[in-house]
Structure formats: C-alpha cells, structure tokens
Chains A and B, each alone.
Chain A
Amino acid sequence: MSSVQQPAKATPNAFDAERLRRDFPILHQAVHDRPLVYLDNAATSQKPRQVMEALDHYYRFDNANIHRGVHTLSERATAAYEEARDKVQRFLNAADRREIVFVRGATEAINLVAQSYARPRLQPGDEILITEMEHHSNIVPWQLVCEQTGAVLKVVPIDETGELKLDEFHRLLNARTKLLAVVHVSNALGTINPVKEMVDVAHAQGVPVLLDGAQAVPHVAVDVQALDCEFYVFSGHKLYAPTGTGALYGKAALLEAMPPYQGGGDMIRSVSFTKTEYNTLPYKFEAGTPHIAGGIGLGAAIDYLTDIGLDAVAAWEDEMLRYATARVHEIPGLRIIGTATHKAGILSFVMDCVHPHDIGTILDHEGVAIRTGHHCAMPVMEHYKVPATARASLALYNTRGDVDRLIAAILKVKEVFRV
C-alpha cells in the first residue's frame, strides 16, 4: 500500500523508542496537565498512524464486501483482507494460510475451539487441563463446555514467584486429559511459560494443546510449527491493531474435522432447505461479514512490528522492565506480584496500606495510566491473597523517562497517603 508511510526504523544496535513514539499520535497529549505516560499496554496497546492510515485508506478507496462482488472495489477489498491473512500466517509461521481463522479476538477463538473441537469429543469424566494463571477467557469457555459434557476442569497451580509448578503439571496430565489450554505469557504476572516443553510433554501422552497468546504476541516471537501446538490464539488490539480483530491458528487436519462454530453467510458453499454444504477452510469458521478494515489494520500492525523487528522490541522492553523492576525495589512498602525468572512487559505490584484503586487514581492525576483491579485473573489474586493489584505494562514506545514518571507518581501516592 504505497500511500502508507513506513515506520521510523531503528538500527539494530540503537533501538530508538523516542523516534517510534512519533508514530503514535495519542501519546502526545496532556492528562491532568501532565504529558501522558501510557503504561496500560497489557489492557490494550495504542495504534501507530501506519495502522490508522491502513483503515483510512480502506474506507476511502476500497470499502466493499469481500469474497463475492465481481466489481473492482470488492476485488481490492478481498485482496487486502486475504493479504492480511498471509501476514498473520507468516507472523506465526503457520504452514498453510488455511490454518488462519480471523476472529474478534482471543476470547472468541477459545470459545470456538471449546465448542467446535472439544464439545463433540468430550465424555463425562474426561479432563481439560488449564493453569491457575489463566485469564478468565481461558477459564470460562472450558467451564461452559464442562457443564455441557460432564467433563472436569483441572488446574495446574503456580508457586510464589508466579511460575507454574511443573511437577504438578506432570502429575495432573493423565489418560483422561483431553486438552491442555495454557497461557503463553500471563497478563497478570508477566510470566513467560515454558510452552514448548509443555507441548512436548502433553504430546507424549497424546494430549492436544491450545496456547493463549494474547499477551505473548506483542513481546515474544511465535513459531507455531516449532511449538507444534494444535491451536494458538491472539487478539489484534494488544498488538497495535484495532480492537475486534484476532486470529485462531489451528492445524489444518483438526480444523477440517471440526463442525462450523456459527452459521451464516460466507461460511457456506451452497444452501438449500434439505442440505447445506460448508465452505472450505478457513471460511467455514468465518460466518457473516467480518471486520474487514480491522483485519487489514491487523496486517498493517504486523508489518509495522516486523519492520522494527520483534526481537529488537523484546530486547528493549526487557531492558525497560529490568529498569522498572530495579527502581520499584527502591520503594519501601511496595511488593511486586509475579517475580518469575522469565517475564515479559508486566510489572504488577501492591503497596502497604494503599489499595490499588487509590494508587490508580493518584497515578492518573500525575498523568500516568496504569491498570488496577484483578486483570480478569481472579484466581491469581486469590493465590496471592490480594483483592487487586496495580499493573504497569510496557510497549515498544515506553522509555526510561516513562518509568521515572511512574516511580515519581508512586512516591506521590506515598506522600498523599503519608505511608
């Protein structure tokens, strides 16, 4: 798309976050009379102008429904949307573009697998194995399917650092286990799970694996063929793409064997009142007119990230996380929740005598946006016996200056609360 400008490129040795910030117009504003510091990226990331321009270009020049029109606009829209699918395929290193199903986000992808893959296969007493650090979106769809089938949900516990207890994982995996569903990177703790090892262990017992990559894809390079997982899901909006976008990767043989998730237009080959023939992959799972502009925006976001280099982004964010972790350690009465050896982009914490909600309000007053609450991971809060945490989460545009503002704002909390 020639009208879309290239991102400000960073040289391999000097990651230039300050320059990349210029790609994100929203960051250049004041909140409560202070320059905005956005540290709520695990909730959703901001969008670079390259993504906004892709949406704008689509609506200005190419808007039409896809997969049916013979006219030029429809052909252009179809080509752009399908090109985005190719980008997702390359981004995840999937073997086949038919293995990429566009969905509204990770939540919809997990529900799709729960209902179309798991539900027809599960018998009473069968087990689905998840972990204690799952987001509610990787808990509730399995609870629903358990209610529907009589299957049982089993949970791998975490230790005090926020790492999975792998000995318990080995113990819980057994002949009744029909699926393992694990988060790749925890949104509440930042833990990067050893998913490759877990897939290998599960496969040795013949157990298929779904990986929830919602929090992983902006920070960790993903290769679904190397991981060898059966399913991988992610949302676009944490990856600098529009909300309401995302993808399900599934091995073609499994997707082929699964019934459709929703019925409607685009997912059929022919319809009559006696027999309806379903479309081929991936369209069998894409009923109705999708978020076409969003899908194209997702492709643009992947281009943006790929041009900068995900490894460079990951290295930068790791440096920022280490810096932030070291700085908050200087603050008495502050406890970090989630201290795993391998972490990505998340700093969750609690403070003595100050509730996270109060921390959030005071930080906002200082122009610093963080998330406070249970982060849709109430079992994690229960594990640490805290009602909520304050969570700062990083993106490629965060700088040491942002971390310094966070620290100053936390010190302001202590000043206001006199603790």
Chain B
Amino acid sequence: MSDLRELYQEVIFDHNRNPRNFGKLADANRHADGNNPLCGDKLHLYLKIEDDVITDIRFEGMGCAISTASASLMTERLKGMKVADAEALFHKFHAVVTEDGDKGAGPELGKLSVLTGVREYPARVKCATLAWHTLEAALHNKETASTE
C-alpha cells in the first residue's frame, strides 16, 4: 500500500478529479491529438502561442488518473512559459520519468515531481508522458502524437 501511495499521490487524485484548464480553447493557434493505443487514452491539446510564449493552454479527453493528472499539471505549469523553456522542460520531465533517465527529479520539476512514481511502473510511463508527447507534436505542427 505504501508504494501505491507513491504512484497515487494526493496531488494526482486532486488533478484527476478536478482537472485544471480542461475544455476547448476557441482562439488556439496550435493543437494536436494524443493517443495511447495500448489503453485507449485520448487527449486533445489546445495552445495559444504569441511571441514565442504559451499564453493559454487547455486540454480535453479521457484517460486514467495518471494521464489526466499529468495533462492537468502540465497545462498549469506551461501557461505563460516561453516555448523554448517548455521544450526543455519536456526533455527534463521525459528523462526523469523514464527508467534510463536522470533519477534526481531536480528542483526545476516542482509539482510535476509527483509523477515520478511511474518510474517503478513501466506499463504506466506512457500514461504520464502522453500529454507531453502531444505538446511536442503541437509545438512542431504535427497533428497527432502516439505513445507507440
């Protein structure tokens, strides 16, 4: 039970039940679909980018607690961030939650570090990274991202 709590931390339940920045973004100028074909998770990400800054971001979709919380935490964190910084954060986050990556969460992850528990659950890493892969697709003007 104790290690289950490391995966399912309070913050994750909170963001799963009440996802932040959830819904359509009418004036988005970038967007992408993310699919995790293995478990059927789907999300749609909307971004509004002005002068290389993410001025607004929202998401829609259905997924497990980990993927929903990850998308919610990501949008919360990225709002107002420079695109280049968002890219750097994607690489940092990805490295930390995948097994080969840097084990130290590092202070720059902040609240996102609640998701590092997935490292111990190889089957669940894709749940945590789906929103971020979708972000990458949107930033690079690809329409879809898949975790496969």
Contact = CB atoms under 8 A, between A and B. Distances in A.
Highest count of chain A CB atoms <10 Å: which of B3, B38, B64: B64
A355 interface: yes
B8 A381 contact: no
Highest count of chain B CB atoms <10 Å: which of A362, A378, A416, A418: A416
Given A357-B64, A358-B65, A374 B13 contact: no
Given A357-B127, A361-B7, A374 B40 contact: yes
Contacts of A309: none
A372 interface: yes
A356 B39 CA distance: 8
B136 interface: no
A228 to B, nearest CB: 38
A356 B17 CA distance: 15
Contact of B65 (A355, A372, A378): A355
Given A355-B64, A355-B65, A361 B39 contact: no
Given A373-B38, A416-B4, A387 B63 contact: yes
Interface in B3-46: 3-4, 7-8, 13, 17, 38-42
Given A357-B127, A358-B66, A361-B121, A388 B39 contact: yes
A388 B36 CA distance: 11
A357 B39 contact: yes
B110 to A, nearest CB: 24
B81 interface: no
A393 to B, nearest CB: 18
Contact of B124 (A356, A361, A387): A361
A388 B38 CA distance: 10
B62 interface: yes
Nearest to B3: A365
A89 to B, nearest CB: 38
Given A355-B65, A358-B64, A358-B65, A387 B4 contact: no
Interface in B93-132: 121, 123-124, 127
A372 B39 contact: yes
A416 B7 CA distance: 11
A417 interface: yes
Given A358-B65, A358-B66, A416 B8 contact: yes
B77 to A, nearest CB: 22
Interface of B: 1, 3-4, 7-8, 13, 17, 38-42, 62-66, 68, 121, 123-124, 127
In order of increasing CB-CB distance, the 8 nearest A-B pairs are A355-B64, A387-B40, A357-B64, A388-B40, A357-B39, A358-B65, A358-B64, A374-B40
27 contacts: A353-B17, A354-B65, A355-B39, A355-B65, A356-B39, A357-B63, A357-B64, A357-B124, A357-B127, A358-B8, A358-B65, A358-B66, A361-B7, A361-B121, A361-B123, A365-B3, A365-B4, A373-B39, A373-B40, A378-B40, A387-B40, A387-B41, A387-B62, A387-B63, A388-B39, A388-B40, A418-B13
Interface of A: 353-358, 361-362, 365, 372-374, 378, 381, 387-388, 416-418
Given A355-B68, A357-B64, 18 more contacts: A353-B17, A355-B64, A357-B39, A358-B8, A358-B65, A358-B66, A361-B7, A361-B121, A362-B4, A365-B3, A372-B39, A374-B39, A378-B40, A381-B40, A387-B41, A387-B62, A388-B39, A416-B4
